[in-house]
Amino acid sequence: MSLTEEQIRGNLQRIEERIRKAAVSANRTPESIKLLVVSKRQPVEVVENAARAGVKLFGENYAEEIEPKRQALSVFSGIQWHMIGHIQSRKVKIVAEMADYVHSIDSLELALKLNRALEERGRDLPVLLEMNVSSEESKSGWAAWDGSHWEALSLEIEEVLACSRLDVHGLMTMPPLAENPETVRPYFARLARLRDYLAARFPATDWRELSMGTSADFETGIQEGASFIRIGQAILGPRPAWISG
């Protein structure tokens, strides 16, 4: 059932065309949008086929899936592994060793722990702060749906910015699943406003990245200013329920 290199190549071409159209509709250049291919729960053979089809940026939700896939792809150059899922405390060390980029810094506690683990290893890591801009329904991210909380939020973010091994580059969000991509437009717009607010407040930090949009709603993400979109199923096919072996 795993997709072949040819099938993945075809999916990539179709998605890249849709990215181009969405970018043009928003007066943006397609080059300003980075496509992260989400390979969570996909077996190593699918990830290898994707690399043969030219994919360079992979997104994973489970820290322990990165190492075997990274090893399998060691013959390809320029591959990056981005952590996009919630990071449990006991997985912080794996992330500090294995990830090239983290989109899912969702608490001050996690930021401090990851910073310590990176200090021990002498590594710096580019990171995004994950915001919950929709409501209690979507559990992941800092509570940021109410603008009157942004002031208090900035006090915590100031502490994250002081972490010497974390290079904060912007924000990420994962809205609740919606049938209609228009449902998530106000959330993506709110993430962009929050980014502008933080950029005014902390001008020394480079807030260039907005990671928003999946297979279901990436065109809306692009129209609202996404610089990273995270697409899994539309490129790699349906995810198996779990990986064996």
226 binds ligand PLP (CB under 6 A): no
Alpha-carbon span 210 to 213, nearest angstrom: 10
Q: Which stretch binds ligand PLP (CB under 6 A): 47-55, 65-73, 184-192, 214-222?
A: 214-222
Alpha-carbon span 28 to 53, nearest angstrom: 26
Alpha-carbon span 110 to 121, nearest angstrom: 17
102 binds ligand PLP (CB under 6 A): no
133 binds ligand PLP (CB under 6 A): no
State which of residues 43, 85, 170, 225 lies at the interface with ligand PLP (CB under 6 A): 85
138 binds ligand PLP (CB under 6 A): no
State which of residues 2, 7, 61, 80 lies at the interface with ligand PLP (CB under 6 A): 61
Q: Which residue is nearest to ligand PLP (CB)?
A: 232
Contact 140, 184 (CB under 8 A): no
Residues forming beta bridges with residue 168, ordered by sequence position: 127
Write the single-letter amino acid at 100: D
Alpha-carbon span 205 to 175, nearest angstrom: 25
Pairing of strands 125-132, 228-231: unpaired
Q: Identify which of residues 92 and 162 has a Cβ nearer to ligand PLP in the complex.
A: 92
Total of chain residues touching ligand PLP, rule CB under 6 A: 14
Q: What angle do CA 161, 198, 223 make, to 5 degrees?
A: 120
Q: Shortest gap between Cβ of 27 and ligand PLP (angstroms)?
A: 25
128 binds ligand PLP (CB under 6 A): no
**Interacting residues toward ligand PLP by CB under 6 A:** 38, 40, 61, 84-85, 174, 214-216, 230-234
